[in-house]
Structure 1
Amino acid sequence: MRIDLVPDDPFGLHNLPYGVYRAAGRAPRVGVRLGSYVVDLSRLLGDEVFATGSLNAFMAQGPTRWASVRADLAEALAGEVSDEAVHHLADVTLELPFEVADYVDFYASEHHASNLGRLFRPEAPDPLTPNWKHLPIGYHGRSASIVVSGTDVVRPCGQRLPPGADKPVFGPSTRLDLECELGFVVGVGTGLGSRIAAADADEHLFGVVLFNDWSARDIQAWEYVPLGPFLGKSFASTVSAWVVPMAALDGARIAVPPQEPVLPYLAMDGPWGLDIDLAVSINGEVVSRPPYAATYWSPAQMLAHLTVNGAATRTGDLFASGTVSGPGRGQQGSLIEIGTGFLEDGDEVVIAGEARLADGRRIGFGEAVGRVVPALPWGEEQGDV
Structure 2
Amino acid sequence: MSNVNTLNETHDLALKSWVGSANQTNSDFPIQNLPFAIFRRSGSSEEFRGGVAIGDQVVDLAAVDEKALFLGEAATAAKACSQPTLNNFMGMGVAYASALRLALSRALREGADKSLESCLIAQSDVEFDLPATIGDYTDFYTSVHHATSVGKLFRPDNPLLPNYKWVPIGYHGRSSSIGVSGQTFHRPVGQTKAPDAEAPSLGPCKRLDYELELGIYIGQGNEMGDAIKLDDSDNHVFGFCLFNDWSARDIQAWEYQPLGPFLAKNFASTVSPWIVTLEAMAPFRTPWTRDAADPQPLPYLESGANREQGAFDIKLEVLIQTEKMRVENQQDKSVSLSNFSYSYWTVAQMVAHHTVNGCNLKPGDFLGSGTQSGPDYEESGSLLELSRGGKESIDLGNGESRTFLNDGDTVVLKGWCKKEGAARIGFGEVRSTVLPAKI
TM-score, normalized by the shorter chain, greater than 0.5: yes
Q: CA deviation at 1:7?
A: 3.5
Unpaired runs of 5+ residues, structure 1, are 378-385
Task: Please tell me whether residue 267 in structure 1 is matched to residue 302 in structure 2.
Answer: yes
Q: Which residue of 2 aligns with 1:111?
A: 145
Distance 2:131 2:101 in 1: 17
Query: Of the candidates 177, 190, 193, which is equivalent to residue 209 of structure 2?
Result: 177
Could you say what secondary structure the match of 1:330 adopts? helix
The answer to whether residue 314 in structure 2 is matched with residue 279 in structure 1 is no
Tell me, in whole angstroms, the C-alpha distance in 2 between the residues paired with 1:10 and 1:50.
22
Structure 2 partner of 1:380: none
What is the Cα deviation at residue 44 of structure 1? 2.3
- Offset of 1:257 from its aligned partner? 3.8
The question of 1:163 aligning with 2:195 is answered yes
1:6 is matched with 23
TM-score normalised to the size of structure 1?
0.94
Calculate the aligned-residue CA RMSD, in Å: 1.5
State the Cα distance separating 1:263 from its structure 2 match: 1.1
Which whole-Å CA distance do the structure 2 matches of 1:357 and 1:317 have between them? 30
Q: Indicate whether 1:195 and 2:227 are aligned.
A: yes
Aligned 1:240-255 pairs, distance under 5 A: 240-255=272-287
- Amino acid paired to 1:56: N
Instruction: Tell me which moved more, 267-276 or 299-308.
Output: 267-276
Match of 2:431 among 366, 369, 373: 369
8 A contact 2:290–2:296 mirrored in 1: no
Amino acid at match of 1:142: R
CA distance in 2, matches of 1:50, 1:278: 28
C-alpha deviation, 1:3, in angstroms? 1.6
What is the 5 A alignment of 1:26-175?
A: 26-45=46-65, 46=68, 47-78=78-109, 79=112, 80-124=114-158, 127-175=159-207
1:220 and 2:252 are equivalent in the alignment:
yes
Q: Is the 1:20–1:30 Cα contact (8 Å) retained in structure 2?
A: yes
Measure how far apart 1:128 and its partner are: 1.4
Q: How far is the alpha carbon of 1:42 from its aligned partner?
A: 2.4
- Residue 267 of structure 1 aligns with an amino acid whose one-letter code is E
SS in 1 for 2:40: strand
For the 8 Å contact 1:22–1:92, the answer to whether it is kept is yes
Q: CA deviation at 1:15?
A: 0.3
Shift of 1:205: 0.3
Partner Cα separation in structure 1 for residue 40 and residue 194 of structure 2: 45
Please give the secondary structure, in 2, of the residue aligned with 1:248.
coil
Q: How does 1:299-310 map to 2 (within 5 A)?
A: 299-310=347-358
- In structure 1, how many angstroms separate the alpha carbons of the residues matched to 2:281 and 2:116? 28
Report SS of the residue matched to 1:247.
coil
Identify if the C-alpha distance between structure 1 residues 165 and 239 changes in structure 2 by more than 3 Å, giving closer, same or farther: same
Q: Is the 8 A contact 1:189 1:204 kept in 2?
A: yes
SS at match of 2:179: strand
- Structure 1 residues 316, 358: CA separation in 2 closer, same or farther (over 3 Å shift)? farther
Q: Comparing 79-88 with 172-181, which one deviates more in the overlay?
A: 79-88
Residues 149 and 198 of structure 1, relative CA distance in 2, 3 Å threshold: same
Deviation at 1:13, TM superposition (A): 1.1
* Aligned residue identity for 1:112: H
After TM superposition, the score normalised by the length of structure 2 is 0.83
2:379 alignment partner, one of 319, 328, 331: 331
Measure the CA separation in 2 of the matches of 1:321 and 1:58. Answer: 23
> AA paired with 1:322?
G
Find the aligned partners of 2:32 and 2:117 in 1 and give their Cα distance: 22
Report matched runs for 1:321-360 at 5 Å: 321-339=369-387, 340=393, 341-357=403-419, 359-360=421-422
Whole-Å separation in 2 of the counterparts to 1:321 and 1:256: 16
How far off its partner does 1:2 sit? Answer: 4.2
Q: Distance in 2 between matches of 1:277 and 1:22?
A: 29
- Paired residues of 1:59 and 1:187 also in contact (CA < 8 A): yes
* Structure 2 unpaired stretches of 5+: 1-16, 69-77, 322-331, 388-392, 394-402
- In the TM superposition, residue 67 of structure 1 has moved relative to its aligned partner by 1.2
Give the letter for the 2:170 counterpart: G
* 1:7-53 C-alpha deviation (Å, 9 max, x unpaired): 44331111000001111342111000000000111222534322222
Contact 1:172 1:375 in 2 (8 A): yes
3-state SS in 1 of match to 2:131: coil
The sequence identity of aligned pairs, in percent, is: 44
Return the alpha-carbon distance in structure 2 between the equivalents of residues 56 and 358 of structure 1: 34
Residue number in structure 2 paired with 1:314: 362
- The Cα offsets for residues 194-220 of structure 1, whole Å up to 9 and x where unpaired, read as 101111111100000000000001111
Query: For residues 261 and 329 of structure 1, what CA distance do their matches in structure 2 show?
Result: 27
Query: Which whole-Å CA distance do the structure 2 matches of 1:298 and 1:276 have between them?
Result: 13
Name the aligned partner's letter for residue 279 of structure 1. Answer: E
Distance 1:216 1:22 in 2: 33
**Counterpart residue identity of residue 417, structure 2:** A
**What is the identity, as a one-letter code, of the residue corresponding to 1:163?**
P
Q: Is the 8 A contact 1:257 1:294 kept in 2?
A: no
Equivalent-residue separation in structure 2 for 1:356 and 1:291 (angstroms): 12
